[in-house]
Amino acid sequence: MPSPSLDDLRRYAIARSLFKPTTLPKAISRLGFVQADPIRAPARAQDLTLRHRVVDYRAGDLERRYSRLAVEEDFFINYGFLPRDIHTLMHPREARQKWTKARWKKAQELLEFVREKGVVHPREVDAHFDHGKETNWFGGSSNATTQLLDGMHYRGLLRIARREGGVRLYSARELHPLPEDEAGTMDRLVDIIVNKYAPLPQATLSGLVMRLAYAVPHWRHARRDAWARAKARLPHAKVEGHTWYWPAGENPRGRRHQVAEEVRLFAPFDPVVWDRRRFEAFWGWSYRFEAYTPPAKRIRGYYALPLMWRDDVIGWGNLSVVDGKLVPDLGFTSGRKPREPAFRQALDAELQRIEHFLGLD
């Protein structure tokens, strides 16, 4: 097969990620992983991601329907939502931070309490056990029972049953043994990464394979072999200074990768724009997530959403809701909004879709 051009790879990346909208379960299954973020500006990242891929998706649908879906909240390469069959590949985890016998005793007592109650709120657990305060991972102080719940969830003893007002409620997780095929399981986890983010520059894919330390810390030793196998088995080509990888059986030069006459505003963690290295290669400018940047140092805004027109990311938008109305604040890399009528119509259509998604219509 002739090597694809960078234009081929860009169109391929957009077309394969923005598949025809489907049901919520099918969209999550096809993505393999949906990254979560608690910031709501104007909606959470997981909702902003799913609205492009689920028919008539409304903000909060994932949280409202979560308990009825075969989906789990958990760590993968970062925190988010995964189909349950992928979730089971990673558990039970042997976390890098070893617990003392005393901490395991507390965990077992808490697990028995959760099993007795069925579903528990962290306040209920804290009131029952009153373990006091502990220093958390970023140096602050938080309830010891909250940290214990987090640790038990990560280790696969507990699962997130649902959320109430954004707060995670826990239930006991049914325990299963780890898959026996370590290499095969690692390859499947790598394929989930590739399926979601392809085509991927080699440096990005290598880094993501190393990030499987979050998903399977007990198999940290297996990551380098998994990376070596991925380089050997995945289709790849060198294009404009990067070696790019994509799933077997796909053709980045396929004629079906057509670009729609649409405007799209993406969450900062949407798979189309997630990899900043690929973003700069495709669109020639640097996009950064600035929510945690001091206001005086922000260039594009607190929660700037990349703005795509056809297959070109030409700017960004910060969206807010004031008195029940959507207020867009747009910026453009060229310094001005495109003047063509087709762009104005496509932009209006996207803003109307967002209003519907937010329930403002």
| Preceding peptide of 92 cis, ω within 30° | yes
164-209: pLDDT as tens digits: 988 999 999 998 899 999 999 999 999 999 999 999 999 999 999 9
CATH 1.10.10.10 in the chain: give the residue spans: 92-172
| CATH architecture type of domain 92-172 | Orthogonal Bundle (1.10)
Alpha-carbon distance 188 to 190, whole Å?
Answer: 5
Burial of 348 (0-12, 13-18, 19+ CB in 10 A): exposed
Low-confidence ranges of the chain (pLDDT < 70): 131-142
* pLDDT tens figures, 38-84: 999 999 999 999 999 999 999 999 999 999 999 999 999 999 999 99
Token couple for 292: 């945690």
pLDDT for the residue 138: 39
Name the pTM for this structure. Answer: 0.94
Q: CA–CA distance from 9 to each of 233, 243, 247, 272, 310 (Å)?
A: 19, 12, 13, 12, 14
Which residue(s) pair with 142 in the sheet? Answer: 134
| pLDDT value of residue 132 | 52
Q: What is the C-alpha separation between 284 and 313, in angstroms, rounded? A: 9
Position 39 scores a pLDDT of 96
Cα distance between residue 84 and residue 97, in whole Å:
25
Q: What is the pLDDT of residue 133?
A: 52
